[in-house]
């Protein structure tokens, strides 16, 4: 993960020469933003439906590798064609598309996102931004090079609760922060480290193109409903990033925003409840050390992540002894007080002080407004990329339980554990290679 200053310096030359955003250069500003949705059910449907409620947005194409999961979007715009392969959609509708939503499993985010950004399309991509650290770096660089409007799909970033919590920290209400604890109740989808992939092939539904679903990952049999598709994939290391990948970009987002964290962790270490080579642990704890900022005490800041029902052992010096922490959220410990920020819930300030709550903003509409105006909103890939990198570095530590990793962000290298560097990127299946940003 590059710090912001290094990133801007490295990519500034290409950004200066980049073309104007697709919507601004390609269509009358009085017409609607033409959208394409990739991934059409579950979170995909949620994203598409929310975007479609914007008065200046219009979906002109939909894509899902499982055509059985396109019924809702077909009703949203019966005239829009539906595809299984996004590459075919982009080839046929390229001149009609300004922007794309990407709501697929983690392992396909970079393959799709980089392709469409290189075609000059704006991108809204679900979290985590990518499946591995190298991909996150490339997505941030390509967004800058292509000069497109981007946004990470952690919509809680724009919620009034999180915006209020961020403002409390920035205002110095609890003083400078000494430590942060963040946690998530999720254990994934109930799997444990004993689960192995199905050995026998199960008939693939006729509506699903399994080759397209597997995409960049190593091929394996379909396995049956809900093993991987449509729900179980987050638990499997080849496709998802477990609970940390699922919720880290949500719950750590206000931590990064409030404390103005713009540099990578210098070190990280993990413990967990056990895992094999196929699925992520049911419970993890990741201890990060970040460089301090103007809003923290000292030269370094400890941030600890917990999931699977694990909670901080300390409640800090300012909380009542019997205070019950929410099932998911963050605890900011400051010099003058503490803040508990539930996910999703109203901030709780100790000692109690009345604060003015900020309104919620529409995260989806904010991205569309940015595409139309050409102004990048907050939570673009310049921010979401580094946030994702930090989350994914935690999962590398998970693979080497109890080993403290030291990170050189500029070199993109774990300096004290050469073997661990293999997980910074992956080998792609034949025909599914991802080219780096030049």
Could you read off the pLDDT of 75-87 as tens digits, one per residue?
A: 999 999 999 999 9
Q: What's residue 139's pLDDT?
A: 98
Q: What is the predicted pLDDT for the residue at 31?
A: 83
Average pLDDT over residues 387-397: 98
Cis? peptide before 23, omega within 30° of 0: no
Top-confidence residue, 323 or 189:
323
Domains defined along the chain, listed by start: 4-154+364-377 (3.40.50.720)
pLDDT above 50 (res 178): yes
Top pLDDT among 371 and 198 is at 371
Q: What are phi and psi of 101, to 5 degrees?
A: -100, 135
Residue 31 CB partners (closer than 8 Å, separation 6+): none
Question: Mean pLDDT throughout 81-109?
Answer: 97
Q: How far apart are the C-alpha atoms of 219 and 197, rounded to whole Å?
A: 12
Structure tokens, 99: 């922007």
Backbone angles phi, psi at 399, to 5 degrees: -70, -15
pLDDT score at 190: 47
Structure tokens at 134: 């190298």
**Nearest-angstrom CA–CA distance, 57 and 361:** 17
Burial call 236-249: b when 16+ CB within 10 Å, e when fewer: bbbbbbbbbbbbbb
Section 151-163 average pLDDT:
97
pLDDT above 90 (res 252): yes
Question: Which are the contacts of 108, defined by CB distance < 8 A and separation ≥ 6?
Answer: 102, 215, 216
Please report the pLDDT score of residue 26 as a whole number: 52
Q: How crowded is the C-beta side of 213, counted as CA atoms within 13 Å?
A: 21
pLDDT digits (tens, 9 = 90+) for 43-59: 999 999 999 999 999 99
Residue 76 is predicted with a pLDDT of 96
Query: Which of 29, 39, 41, 31 has the alpha carbon at shortest distance from 61?
Result: 39
Residue 433 makes CB contacts below 8 A (sequence gap 6+) with none
pLDDT band at 1 (very low <50, low <70, confident <90, very high): very low
pLDDT band at residue 12 using 50, 70 and 90 as cut-offs: very low
Whether 288 contacts 302, CB under 8 Å: yes
User: Cβ-count burial of 321 within 10 angstroms (0-12 exposed, 13-18 middle, 19+ buried)?
Assistant: exposed
pLDDT digits (tens, 9 = 90+) for 320-368: 888 899 999 999 999 999 999 999 999 999 998 888 999 999 999 999 9
Q: What is the pLDDT of residue 188?
A: 65
Contact 180, 255 (CB under 8 A): yes
Q: How far is CA 424 from the centre of its chain?
A: 16
Assess contact for 215 and 108: CB atoms under 8 A. yes
Q: How confident is the model at residue 15 (pLDDT cuts 50, 70, 90)?
A: very low
| Percent residues over pLDDT 90 in the chain | 82
Tell me the pLDDT of the chain averaged across its residues. 92
């Amino acid at each position: 993960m590059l710090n912001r200053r290094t990133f801007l310096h490295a990519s500034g030359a290409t950004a200066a020469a980049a073309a104007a955003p697709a919507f601004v250069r390609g269509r009358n500003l009085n017409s609607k933003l033409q959208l394409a949705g990739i991934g059409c059910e579950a979170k995909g449907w949620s994203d598409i439906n929310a975007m479609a409620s914007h008065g200046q947005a219009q979906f002109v194409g939909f894509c899902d590798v499982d055509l059985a999961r396109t019924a809702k979007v077909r009703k949203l715009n019966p005239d829009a064609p539906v595809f299984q392969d996004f590459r075919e959609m982009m080839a046929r509708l390229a001149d009609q598309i300004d922007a794309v939503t990407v709501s697929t499993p983690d392992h396909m985010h970079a393959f799709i996102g980089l392709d469409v950004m290189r075609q000059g399309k704006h991108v809204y991509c679900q979290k985590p931004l990518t499946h591995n650290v190298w991909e996150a770096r490339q997505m941030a660089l390509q967004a800058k090079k292509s000069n497109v409007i981007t946004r990470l799909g952690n919509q809680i970033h724009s919620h009034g609760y999180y915006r209020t919590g961020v403002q409390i920290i920035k205002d110095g209400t609890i003083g400078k922060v000494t430590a942060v604890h963040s946690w998530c109740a999720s254990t994934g989808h109930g799997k444990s480290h004993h689960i192995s992939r199905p050995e026998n092939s199960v008939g693939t539904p006729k509506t699903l193109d399994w080759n397209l679903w597997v995409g960049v990952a190593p091929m394996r049999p379909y396995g049956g409903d809900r093993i991987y598709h449509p729900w179980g994939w987050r638990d499997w290391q080849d496709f998802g990033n477990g609970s940390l990948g699922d919720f880290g970009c949500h719950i750590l987002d206000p931590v990064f925003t409030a404390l103005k964290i713009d540099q990578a962790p210098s070190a990280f270490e993990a413990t967990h409840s056990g895992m094999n080579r196929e699925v992520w642990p049911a419970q993890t704890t990741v201890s990060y050390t970040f460089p301090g900022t103007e809003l923290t005490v000292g030269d370094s800041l400890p941030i600890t992540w917990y999931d699977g029902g694990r909670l901080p052992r300390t409640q800090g010096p300012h909380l009542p002894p019997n205070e019950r922490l929410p099932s998911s959220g963050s605890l900011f410990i400051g010099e003058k007080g503490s803040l508990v920020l539930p996910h999703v819930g109203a901030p709780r300030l100790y000692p109690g002080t009345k604060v003015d709550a900020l309104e919620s903003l529409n995260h989806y509409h904010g991205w569309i407004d940015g595409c139309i105006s050409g102004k990048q909103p907050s939570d673009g890939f310049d921010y979401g990329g580094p946030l994702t990198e930090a989350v994914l570095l935690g999962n590398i530590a998970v693979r080497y339980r109890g080993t403290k990793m030291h990170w050189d962000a500029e070199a993109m290298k774990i300096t004290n554990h050469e073997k661990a560097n293999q997980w910074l990127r992956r080998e792609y299946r034949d025909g599914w290679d991802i080219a780096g940003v030049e």
